[in-house]
Structure 1
Amino acid sequence: MPRKRNAHRNADTPTLADVARLAGVSDITASRVVRNKGPIADATRAKVLAAIAELGYIPNRAAGSLASSGSTLMSVLLPSLSNIVFPDVLRGIHTALTETAFQPVIGVTDYDPVIEERILLSFLAWQPAAVILAGLHHTATARRHLEHGRFRVAELMDIDGDPVDIAVGMSHWQAGYDTGKHLVQRGYRRFGYAGHTIASDDRARARYDGLRAALKEAGLLLIAEERVQGGSSTLAGRHLLEAILRKAPGLDVVVFPNDDMAMGGIFHCMHAGITPKEQLGIFGFNGLDIGQALPLPLSTILSKRFLIGKTAAEKLLESRERPAEKTIINTGYDIIEGATA
């Protein structure tokens, strides 16, 4: 029977005694495995670890300190700090917490749900008051801990799905759809897409799907696509545009999954003597300041990253108790017409 996620949640939280009982060992033996202290047979350790995983048990490393007075930690798990998008989110969180007693503790997941799970479990051992994560998709183990924990949860950037507690962000599918619709209305017909691997990037995949839906509605399709294996970068965007134009020289617009790659496309245009917009439309996503500082400001969609972080933290501060009803906050986005598409 699934555990409840309301006021009775505390009574359903697994204890060390539950772990010991399920593993068929003494409480002391289970404690030694959890603390990694003393000699333990490999078979016994495996049984205890299996019981911990099955029950979703989290040791309380803050017992007697933070837990006794109410934790002031907020665990923040972000995919990257080198991608300017997420420092903007973090600035929003920091702004909301500045005048409070709460402190963010940061973990970087590298867009890997397994790494996210590992960091999450490490953070939960310190009994945080809240957990902030990017996206709505996590491993089954991470999702189980988030659903049954005694803390608030805010999932950022995406609202296309079922949140654990609070979701703050935008519909990436709709953003992709509106990108396609906007460009079709501007007269573009021969579309290309140049991006990174989207297998682990749910938001980029949703925008891609939305773009294709808008094109299909207009009786169009993507003429050519190019992808780089791995993450995105400005250099990758430059190389991809060169490659896609070799494959399909008749394209009149190329859509990129983010501004970093779109700016790489602009640099290729400069190198190849192609005038953006007049000869080839270039469209990005995120609305980064550097894209708007170009001689021809980048045509793109502005994601409200600072607002997303600030709104999420402010919402978490409203109550330590998780309400029965889930909350979805759409911060929206703006189309920046720019001068490249």
Structure 2
Amino acid sequence: MLRNAPTLADVARLAGVSEITVSRVVRNKGPIAAGTRARVHEAIVKLGYVPNRAAGALASAASPLIGVLLPSLSNIVFPEVLRGIHTALAPTGYQPLIGVTDYDPLKEQHLLSSLLAWQPAAIITTGFEHTDASRQMLSNSRIRVAELMDIDAEPIDIAVGLSQRGAGFDTARHLISRNYRRFGYVGHDWNADHRARLRYEGLRGALAEAGLELKAEERFDGPSSTMAGRETLAALLSQKPDLDVVVFSNDDMAVGGFFHCLGAGIRVGQDLGLFGFNGLDIGQALPLPLSTIRSNRFAIGRIAVEKLMESSRRPEEKLVVDTGYQIIAGATA
């Protein structure tokens, strides 16, 4: 059952202070003892309280704002999601308020608190990896919530995306069907990109089911990039040069791996297979089109908005929309 959002009075009772004191702390107005301020902030976090700064026309389900939190706008994946969101919102009269979290759950929490203070009609966020405070704020709010890109966990309201584990599993099955047996893996920071780890787990699961395993793996301690892919594949092959295929955490990394092979005289698709994830244009523009999985990013953003717009009230039953993915055979594996 949905709970009512916590009020300023609830915070005051929990902190043992007056509502006026809570209001002053929230607005950062007037002298407040450090201990009192700390108790109020602790109560705010514990309750998931969000102050209402709209104070009028926006303080209702009629608000024309949709909060959108994305982990990055430099990664081409998320501008495509945003394009889908924009396309679906264009005829509705709603306007997006966009925040970029840089894959940081605490930054997401701060941005979420700021967005919710304006009482948007809905919140669109990415994945299920929220802080406890963020999850409580989202759960306590009466507004619609869409979590994008992943469907491998239970959503707060709506999840729209693909099974990341399934994509990893199907990657291995596809490559096994093409007679690859000596698998390597090149990845990037799992703390920042939990979905890459889910694909890795799916990959290993399918290999184990076939009586196989990863012969070697190497991860770059940072975000994905073509340079990281190039350097990390070089490190992997220095320790295990007899691999016949390498699976990369995404296309950025795989394109970098392709460039390493060009420089090292490794014949891609013959001496070594390369496989990515995302289906980016840059991978398909290589001299040998990248073998990869294409995610339906535009559709994820568009469908999320369409489902949110079906009702302004959050239903009791949660919704999961699987947008699927396609294996691109390419020419590198």
Q: Which residue of 1 aligns with 2:76?
A: 84
TM-score, L = length of structure 1: 0.95
Q: Does 1:340 align with 2:319?
A: no
The offset of 1:242, in angstroms, is 1.2
1:69, 1:270 → 2: CA distance?
A: 56
Q: Which residue of 1 aligns with 2:112?
A: 120
Gaps of 5+ in 2: none
Are the counterparts in 1 of residues 47 and 136 from structure 2 also a CA contact under 8 Å?
Answer: no
Q: Does 1:64 align with 2:56?
A: yes
1:52, 1:198 → 2: CA distance?
A: 30
SS in 2 for 1:51: helix
2:163, 2:283 → 1: CA distance?
A: 22
SS in 1 for 2:59: helix
Amino acid at match of 1:219: G
Gaps of 5+ in 1: none
What are the superposed Cα offsets for residues 14-48 of structure 1, whole Å, 9 maximum, x if unpaired? 22122222222222111111110011111111121
1:35, 1:243 → 2: CA distance?
A: 52
SS in 2 for 1:66: coil
Are the counterparts in 1 of residues 61 and 120 from structure 2 also a CA contact under 8 Å?
Answer: no
- From 47, 54, 60, the equivalent of 1:55 is 47
Map of 1:56-205 to 2, 5 A cutoff?
56-67=48-59, 70-205=62-197
Q: Which residue of 1 aligns with 2:307?
A: 315
The offset of 1:257, in angstroms, is 0.6
What are the superposed Cα offsets for residues 297-325 of structure 1, whole Å, 9 maximum, x if unpaired? 00000000000000001111111100110
1:22, 1:264 → 2: CA distance?
A: 54
2:22, 2:228 → 1: CA distance?
A: 50
Q: Does 1:292 align with 2:284?
A: yes
SS in 2 for 1:22: helix
2:324, 2:75 → 1: CA distance?
A: 20
- From 243, 246, 257, the equivalent of 1:254 is 246
1:224, 1:146 → 2: CA distance?
A: 40
Q: CA RMSD in A?
A: 1.1
- The count of corresponding residues between Structure 1 and Structure 2 is 333
What are the superposed Cα offsets for residues 255-304 of structure 1, whole Å, 9 maximum, x if unpaired? 00100000001111111111111110000000001111112100000000
1:134, 1:14 → 2: CA distance?
A: 24
2:174, 2:332 → 1: CA distance?
A: 13
SS in 1 for 2:315: coil
1:130, 1:301 → 2: CA distance?
A: 30
Q: Which residue of 1 aligns with 2:13?
A: 21
2:66, 2:35 → 1: CA distance?
A: 36
Q: Does 1:206 align with 2:198?
A: yes
Q: Does 1:275 align with 2:261?
A: no
Identity rate of aligned residues, in percent? 67
Amino acid at match of 1:145: M
The offset of 1:53, in angstroms, is 1.8
The offset of 1:200, in angstroms, is 3.5
The offset of 1:69, in angstroms, is 7.3
The offset of 1:137, in angstroms, is 2.1
Q: Which residue of 1 aligns with 2:29?
A: 37
Structure 1's consecutive aligned runs of 4 or more residues displaced over 6 angstroms after TM superposition are none
What are the superposed Cα offsets for residues 316-339 of structure 1, whole Å, 9 maximum, x if unpaired? 111110011000000000000000
Q: Would the alpha carbon gap of residues 242 and 111 (structure 1) be closer, same or farther in structure 2, given more than 3 Å must change?
A: same
TM-score, L = length of structure 2: 0.98
1:72, 1:205 → 2: CA distance?
A: 36
What are the superposed Cα offsets for residues 37-85 of structure 1, whole Å, 9 maximum, x if unpaired? 0111111111211222222211100011312572111111111000000
1:14, 1:242 → 2: CA distance?
A: 53
SS in 1 for 2:206: helix
More displaced stretch, 154-163 vs 45-54: 45-54
The offset of 1:13, in angstroms, is 2.1
Q: Would the alpha carbon gap of residues 68 and 299 (structure 1) be closer, same or farther in structure 2, given more than 3 Å must change?
A: closer
